[in-house]
Structure 1
Amino acid sequence: MRVLFASTRGPGHFHPLVPLIDACTERGDDVLVVAPPALESLLATRKQPYRIGGEPPREEIARAMEPALALPPDDGVAVMVTEVFGRLGIAAMLPALEEACRDWRPDLVVHEAYEFASVVAAERHGVPRLRVAVSAARFTRSTDTLLTPVFAPYGTGITERLLATPYLTRLPASLDPSSYAVTHRYHETPRPGALPDRWGGAAEPLVHLTLGTEAGALPTAVGLYRGLVEAVSELPVRVLLTTGHLIEAADLGPLPSQVHVEQWVPQADVLRSASLVVCHGGSGTVFGALAAGVPLVCVPLFADQPVNARLVADAGAGTAVTPTGGPAHKAATLEADDVRAIRAATELVLAEPSYRARAERLADEVRSTVTVAELLGTLAP
């Protein structure tokens, strides 16, 4: 079988495709990945063939993003979906995806939920599709209501057919009920390695601080990280802070001795040892922690993060601390009240066993779903 995978530019959008790409490769399928230029360096480290599509002109992205960042969160999301992922993203990526469908002739197109050019290309060439979740179904379904005018230049009824496309998600049903007509849940089988001891044999609980791949690249990330470190470093814990490849430990200034900084550590390795994750509420971080049975303190900044934080809190698998000093992704640092609130939430979740117990129940629910290989055997035999 020939399987074409399509992603937008963010690593957080591409990573949910990786288990499916690897499973297809392992079973002997021909795989082709089509993605924007921003993912080329990542794709070059992998063994699957890939093609690089187009990218919207920077000035057009800036014109769309500047008002989006100034708007209230829901309105900013609408601009991102309709303009950046929609109008600009489709126009930039459609030529490469059309060409791939025409000359490579895939039997199946698998796309992450916000890659829309592959939807148009597959429609034009009569190729069946699978849609892979990058966010909670509640959030994705709310943004789907914006898509009819986005697809209008390319035909009629595309949004309705997208909603009928099989929707693949790793999130458990009790946490993330889905209104999509055809929803399939599955799980990965990570093989975590041992986390090196950076704390001289200390045995205090390990707290993982992260802003993920998207928020960690913001101009304000250094200030946000300093605020998170201030919030937890006075507690009797070990801290592992992962910053992403754009920030180094020296950028953060002097740090307490129990805080160790790495640009990147395999998520599964950290979660094997962590007692708590303090994060922005990004989908990749939230799902990874819950799949490993680790509770969270979420400090949501933008996009789907407030929804994820509410899901975690409602499930009893952690708490949410919404910044009070205005949009945190614009702030140079966290307000003092926010720092105190994050510290109190961290203490609470570490001290109260019910948070860990609920996270572990969700992990059991995740493990009860089919594996990636079993899912593909059903949907793409």
Structure 2
Amino acid sequence: MRVLFTSTRGAGHFYPLVPLIDACAARGDDVLVVAPSALEPVLAARKQPYRIGGEPPREAMDAIRARAMSLAPDDGVSVMVAEGFGRLCTAAMLPVVEEVCRDWRPDLVLHETFEFSSVVAAERHGIPHARVAVSAGGFTAQADPLVGPVLDAYGSGIAERLLASPYLTRLPVSMDPSPYDVTHRYHEEPRSAVLPDWWNGAKEPLVHLTLGSEAGALPTAAGLYRGLVEAVGALPVRVLLTTGRHLGPRDLGPQPPHVHVESWVPQEDVLRGASLVVCHGGSGTVYGALAAGVPLVCVPLFADQPANARLVTAAGAGAAVVPANAGGEEPTVLDPDDVRSLGTAVERVLAAPSFRERARALADEMRATPSAAELVGALYG
């Protein structure tokens, strides 16, 4: 079987596809990935063939992104989905994706939630398609009505058939009931290694601080990271801070001995021994922590992060601290009250067994779903 995978540019959009890509490759399927040039370093490091799709003009995307960041979270998401992912990214990616569908003739297209050019191309060439969740189902469904006018401009009924296609998600049903009739859940097989002993034999609880792969590009990123460290710095814990590709350890200056900074460490390796994750509430980080049974404290900044933070707190698997100026026209910062609130939340989640117990219960629920390989085999032979 030939399987085409497509993604927009964000690493958080691509990585949910990875377990399915690996499962198809392990079955002996022919796999091809199409994604924008921003993901080429990630694609080049993998074994699967890939094609680079088009990207919108940077000025146009920057303008949409700036507009979205200046709005309240829900309004900002609307702008990004309709104008960014919908109108601009679909038009930019479509020529390459349609060429692949015409000439390579995949038997199946699997695309991340917000990559829409593959749906247009698959519909034009009669190829089955399914979407792979990068966010919670409730969050995704809020943006679905915005996609209709964009996709139906390429052909009547395309948006309706997108919503009727299979929806593949890793989040557990108790936390994220799906609004889609055809929903399949799966989990990733855990893979991890032991972290280096960056703390010289110390045994205090390990707290992982991360703002994901993209927040480091914010003009306030260094201050955000320093605020996270300040919030937990006086606690009896070990800290591992990962900054992402936009910042490095030197950008944050000297740190106390119990705080170690790296640009990147495989998430699975950290979570194996972590007692708590303090993060922005990105879907990949939230999913990974819960799959490992690790509670969270979320500091949501933009996009689906506020929605994910609400899901975590409603599930009893962690707490949330919303920065005072989040969702305003200025880039998000942590003021002194935010830092104090964050420190209090970290202490509370570490001290109360119920948060870890709830996170472990969600991990058990997630492990009870089919693996990515089992799902691919059951759905597509």
Q: TM-score, normalised by structure 1?
A: 0.98
Maintained 8 Å contact 2:208/2:270 = yes
1:226 equivalent in alignment to 2:221:
no
Q: Which runs of 5+ in 1 are unaligned?
A: none
Aligned to 2:272: 272
Q: Distance in 1 between matches of 2:227 and 2:327?
A: 15
Q: Distance in 2 between matches of 1:299 and 1:328?
A: 15
User: Match of 2:140, as an amino acid?
Assistant: T
Q: Distance in 2 between matches of 1:136 and 1:76?
A: 17
SS of structure 1 residue aligned to 2:8? coil
CA shift, 1:326, in A, is: 4.1
Instruction: State how 1:92-171 maps to structure 2 within 5 Å.
Output: 92-171=92-171
1:308 equivalent in alignment to 2:308:
yes
CA shift, 1:249, in A, is: 1.1
Aligned to 1:37: 37
Maintained 8 Å contact 2:218/2:331 = no
1:319 equivalent in alignment to 2:305:
no
Instruction: Identify if the C-alpha distance between structure 1 residues 358 and 261 changes in structure 2 by more than 3 Å, giving closer, same or farther.
Output: same
Instruction: Identify if the C-alpha distance between structure 1 residues 76 and 328 changes in structure 2 by more than 3 Å, giving closer, same or farther.
Output: closer
Instruction: State how 1:64-103 maps to structure 2 within 5 Å.
Output: 64-103=64-103
Maintained 8 Å contact 1:210/1:216 = no
Q: Distance in 2 between matches of 1:150 and 1:219?
A: 32
Q: Distance in 1 between matches of 2:364 and 2:66?
A: 42
CA shift, 1:254, in A, is: 2.5
SS of structure 2 residue aligned to 1:21? helix
Aligned to 2:257: 257
Q: Distance in 2 between matches of 1:27 and 1:11?
A: 25
Maintained 8 Å contact 2:238/2:259 = yes
Q: Distance in 2 between matches of 1:326 and 1:349?
A: 22
SS of structure 2 residue aligned to 1:145? helix
Instruction: Identify if the C-alpha distance between structure 1 residues 326 and 105 changes in structure 2 by more than 3 Å, giving closer, same or farther.
Output: closer
> What are the superposed Cα offsets for residues 193-248 of structure 1, whole Å, 9 maximum, x if unpaired?
11111111111100000000122332221110000000001101000000012211
Q: Distance in 1 between matches of 2:356 and 2:328?
A: 27
Aligned to 2:23: 23
Instruction: Identify if the C-alpha distance between structure 1 residues 114 and 236 changes in structure 2 by more than 3 Å, giving closer, same or farther.
Output: same
Q: Distance in 1 between matches of 2:246 and 2:98?
A: 34
User: Match of 1:216, as an amino acid?
Assistant: G
CA shift, 1:73, in A, is: 1.4
Q: Distance in 2 between matches of 1:66 and 1:345?
A: 30
Maintained 8 Å contact 1:217/1:244 = no
Maintained 8 Å contact 2:168/2:186 = yes
User: Match of 1:109, as an amino acid?
Assistant: V
Q: Which runs of 5+ in 2 are unaligned?
A: none
CA RMSD of aligned residues (A): 1.2
User: Match of 2:259, as an amino acid?
Assistant: V
CA shift, 1:330, in A, is: 4.1
Q: Distance in 2 between matches of 1:63 and 1:275?
A: 40
